[in-house]
Amino acid sequence: MDRLILDHVLDHEANRANQVFFTQPLGGGPVQDYTWGQVVGEARRVAAHLQSLGLPRGARVAILSKNCAHFIMAELAIWLGGYTTVAIFPTETAETIKYVLEHSEASALFVGKLDTWPAQQPGVPKGLPCIAFPLAPAEARRDFDGWDAIVARTAPLAGRITRQADELAMLIYTSGSTGTPKGVMNTFAAFSWAAAAAGEFASERVGAGTDRRVISYLPLAHSFERTWIEGAALIEGTTHMFFADTLQSFIEDVKRARPTLFISVPRLWLKFQQGVFAKMPPAKLERLLKIPILGRIVAKKVLAGLGLDSVVYAGSGSAPLPPDLIRWYQRLGLKLGEGYGMTEDNSVSHTSRLDIDGQAEPGWVGVPMPGVEVKLAPDGEVLIRSPGQFTGYYKQPELTAASFTEDGFFRTGDLGERRPNGLLRITGRAKELFKTAKGKYVAPAPIENLLLAHAQIESCMVSGVGQVAAYALVVPAEDLRPRLADSALRNEFEVEMAALLERVNAELTDYEQLGLMVISRDPWTIEAGTLTPTMKIKRTRIETIVAPQVEGWYARGQRVIWA
């Protein structure tokens, strides 16, 4: 493409110097605004500092931080300096941090906003140059050169800085739901194309002249947030980006931003709904929503309570979203659609176009975005080719070769079905299919979606390799878990789960039907290693943890049991 992402950024620096780009909470209430002029100005100074370290062009420079204004400023500094970004999920262990830094051969590291830095620091090789963001933990700000100090003492890189289309903009290490993280290589051409495509889609949905406000809170180390929030904003230029302070302040942070475009993942959409139900029983809310005029007032109030009353378009990605959950939000008046993409295509593949008849439907992930080619392999695997495609896995040429068809389509590993107009439904992951003793393959994702439609379930996993029938392992909703110590409520929950089991089985073929439901006493978390940083379940990890108990579950002969 003619114009890469830095071309847009430098134009905004010149033409929008005084326009506020970021609003960053500083903790405890205060916020700080950054204009385009400040953002690029500080990035130019830190880029000059990186160059003073003598790093070769294309050197990998890592960022370990939660989302904040300085994450994106650091990425711009890396690009302006002539380098390649390696972003590490802020929840990773010292072991994974060490692996990524060593595998990528990182020459420097930005340390930012983190919750567990003392436990993570042992993963940073001794002698690696480190720079602390202003919001970094006190220990990091004490031990390392500080961002603000560097900005204060360093002259900025001058002039119109350019990068080549085929240069690597970033290595994105997959969140690793199975196995070791892989380094996905994305060039400036691929990322710029994807960011422009995401920005164009958002502009079409939000509409010309509408304020573009977003809140960045899903991990910027992941492709989804990097393309759809950061990349699109860097290209489009008029977006006002807000950041979240803490998990506890999140709803207030969203209310401050009043986003017009909001992107989330299934687990959070479900938690939002469960938060609403904790204040008003589902049946009562449904009755109110059906009342003319009052229903619209109630719906608006519910969305305002979530900070989403100004949202013009909402999207969900990363994992399947239960169709009933989509319909629930749409009844509230929220235009919520699913999308589909992978790190390997910069998260630009399919989107739900709610404003176009036939191009959006709950349970389907939409149609191909312009420029994206799609076909299904004979076994149903979804194959994708686009200008936003990655160039390969870093230091893994054999895996790279095996990941493409002879005609250049990426093998996604997802199974799907398509309608003649291109509407796509994902039916499962090829590697997640398993056989019970009945000898037929079971796809867990569609069954999990049926279970997740229940308001009292936070997350679930369907498994049962070699067993007489599959089982479902479920985690009760967050607001419900503390109250299950009450024996009466616990019995009521067991009865409800037994009824749900029967309802779900009635929708499944005989070989898919669940033999039992197991209720987990503990939630799955990123910290425990049972969720990825993007809040997808780590299926293999959970199966390993429960493996010693599985035979005993079946031996009990009960339909609903507690793990």
**pLDDT tens per residue, range 190-205:** 999 999 999 999 888 8
Mean pLDDT of the 79-85 span: 98
**pLDDT tens per residue, range 145-159:** 999 999 999 999 999
The alpha-helical segments, DSSP class H, found in 36-93 are 36-52, 69-81
Q: State how far the alpha carbon of 215 is from the alpha carbons of 32, 262, 332, 481, 529, in Å.
A: 15, 7, 21, 29, 26
Mean pLDDT of the 25-37 span: 95
Per-residue tokens: 398: 């054999």
Is the predicted pLDDT of residue 176 greater than 80, yes or no? Answer: no
- DSSP assignment string, 120-142: HGGGSPTT--EEE-TTS-HHHHH
Position 526 scores a pLDDT of 85
What b/e readout covers 270-308, taking b as 16+ CB neighbours within 10 angstroms?
A: bbbbbebbeeeeeeebeebbeeeeebeebbeebbeebbb
Other C-beta atoms closer than 10 Å to the C-beta of 248 total: 8
Architecture of domain 5-9+35-206: 3-Layer(aba) Sandwich (3.40)
Mean pLDDT of the 464-476 span: 91
Q: For residues 63 and 273, what is the distance between their CA atoms, to the nearest angstrom? A: 33
Choice among 173-187, 310-324, 359-373, 379-393 with the minimum mean pLDDT: 173-187
Q: Indicate the CATH number of 433-562 among 3.20.20.140, 3.30.1330.10, 3.40.50.1220, 3.30.300.30.
A: 3.30.300.30
Position 270 scores a pLDDT of 86
Grouping H, G, I as helix, E, B as strand and the rest as coil, residue 104 is helix
State how beta strands 31-35 and 20-25 pair. antiparallel
Continuous segment of H or E residues that includes residue 259: none
Closest CA to 187 of 387, 431, 449: 387
Per-residue tokens: 401: 């070769």
Q: Do domains 5-9+35-206 and 261-309+311-430 have the same CATH topology?
A: yes
Closest CA to 106 of 64, 71, 45: 64
Mean pLDDT of the 356-365 span: 88
Tell me the CATH number for domain 261-309+311-430.
Answer: 3.40.50.12780
Position 63 scores a pLDDT of 98
Choice among 224-238, 366-380, 456-470 with the minimum mean pLDDT: 456-470
178 band by pLDDT with thresholds 50, 70 and 90 = low
Position 432 scores a pLDDT of 85
Position 1 scores a pLDDT of 66
Q: For residues 186 and 2, what is the distance between their CA atoms, to the nearest angstrom? A: 17
Beta bridge partners of 442: 434
Q: For residues 435 and 465, what is the distance between their CA atoms, to the nearest angstrom? A: 6
Position 256 scores a pLDDT of 94
Continuous segment of H or E residues that includes residue 212: none
The domain spans of the chain are 5-9+35-206, 261-309+311-430, 433-562
Closest CA to 76 of 24, 38, 105: 38
Q: For residues 140 and 63, what is the distance between their CA atoms, to the nearest angstrom? A: 13
The mean pLDDT value of the chain amounts to 92
**pLDDT tens per residue, range 388-431:** 999 999 999 999 999 999 999 999 999 999 999 999 999 888 88
179 band by pLDDT with thresholds 50, 70 and 90 = low
**pLDDT tens per residue, range 294-340:** 999 999 999 999 999 999 999 998 777 888 889 999 999 999 999 99
97 band by pLDDT with thresholds 50, 70 and 90 = very high
Phi, psi of 441 (to 5 degrees): -75, 140
Q: For the chain, give percent helix, strand, coil, nearest 5.
A: 40, 20, 40
Position 247 scores a pLDDT of 86
- Please report how many Cα atoms fall inside a 13 Å half-sphere around the Cα of residue 129, on the Cβ side: 15
By residue count, the chain amounts to 563
Grouping H, G, I as helix, E, B as strand and the rest as coil, residue 56 is coil
Q: For residues 534 and 523, what is the distance between their CA atoms, to the nearest angstrom? A: 16
The alpha-helical segments, DSSP class H, found in 186-265 are 188-206, 223-225, 232-236, 250-257
Position 275 scores a pLDDT of 87
Is the predicted pLDDT of residue 175 greater than 70, yes or no? Answer: no
Grouping H, G, I as helix, E, B as strand and the rest as coil, residue 215 is strand
Percent of the chain residues past pLDDT 90, beyond the cut: 73
Other C-beta atoms closer than 10 Å to the C-beta of 11 total: 15
Is the predicted pLDDT of residue 210 greater than 80, yes or no? Answer: no
Higher-pLDDT residue of 454 and 345 is 345
